[in-house]
Amino acid sequence: MTLLVKLAGTGAALALCMAAPAASAAIVTATYTGTVSGTSLFGDTGGAFDSGGVFGALTDLEGVDFTAVFTFDTHLGQRFLLPFQDQLIGGALGGGVETPYLSAILTIEDVDYAFQSDLLAFALVVTDFLDSSTFHQAASGFDFLIAGLQNPGLPLNLTGPFDGGYFANSPDNPVLGEFLVTDGNVALAHGYLAADHLTITSSSAPEPATWGLMLLGFFGLGAAVRRQRRDLAVLA
């Protein structure tokens, strides 16, 4: 085989790497900030407490700032694109498919608590001409983390981008979120979450097929380069 043919093979391998299809999945991060409340939107008074020291020494969480960060992969779970609605769901109660959440973390008093989502992972945005809303939920066993926000500027997709505060046709800031941490039997920490700001960012994530094609191309390129070196040594 001539050196020209060998070089052509190297070029073909390189082309295989470069021709990998563009990634269509996305890693999305939704970050809510606001304050903890002891009363829900519907007047429920479950309290805002931390009797188990989950978030440190502070036992009364009423009015304390929080940050809730949900990170998920749109390639995982089941996604439903409906008129005026984008929904992603997974976990045992979400069709029994793999959870799309990579993490769901609640931070209070600079202490992070990671919620699992094997029972239910849920992300939803509903848009209309008045009060568009988005919600994110992670649940495992009795523990759960839910956060939500209303703003008519929300995009009709879960991937954003979005950076804005609470805005609705109601004068009050609705408490659309809630969290519960237990030891399996007893509640250790609980509160309702009144989010006043939400940021949604996303970045591309290669599909499994994309990674496979790229690796195949790199392996082919390496093999072609090794053959080329051997032939050049013989010619020398």
Task: Tell me: pLDDT of 231 over 70.
Answer: no
Tens of pLDDT, residue by residue over 6-57, are: 323 334 333 333 333 333 589 999 999 999 999 998 888 899 999 999 999 9
pLDDT of residue 230: 52
CA dist 222 and 9 (Å) reads 11
Tens of pLDDT, residue by residue over 121-139, are: 999 999 876 678 999 999 9
CA dist 58 and 66 (Å) reads 13
CA dist 175 and 36 (Å) reads 9
- Per 3-state DSSP, the chain is made up of helix, strand and coil in percentages (nearest 5) of 20, 45, 40
Of 28-32, 70-74, 232-236, the least confident: 232-236
In the chain, what are the domain boundaries?
Answer: 26-205
Tens of pLDDT, residue by residue over 132-169, are: 899 999 999 999 999 999 998 899 899 999 999 988 76
For every residue of 154-180, DSSP letters joined together read --SSTT--EEEE---SSSS----EEEE
The mean of the pLDDT values for the chain is 82
The answer to whether the CB of 74 falls within 8 A of the CB of 98 is no
- pTM equals 0.78
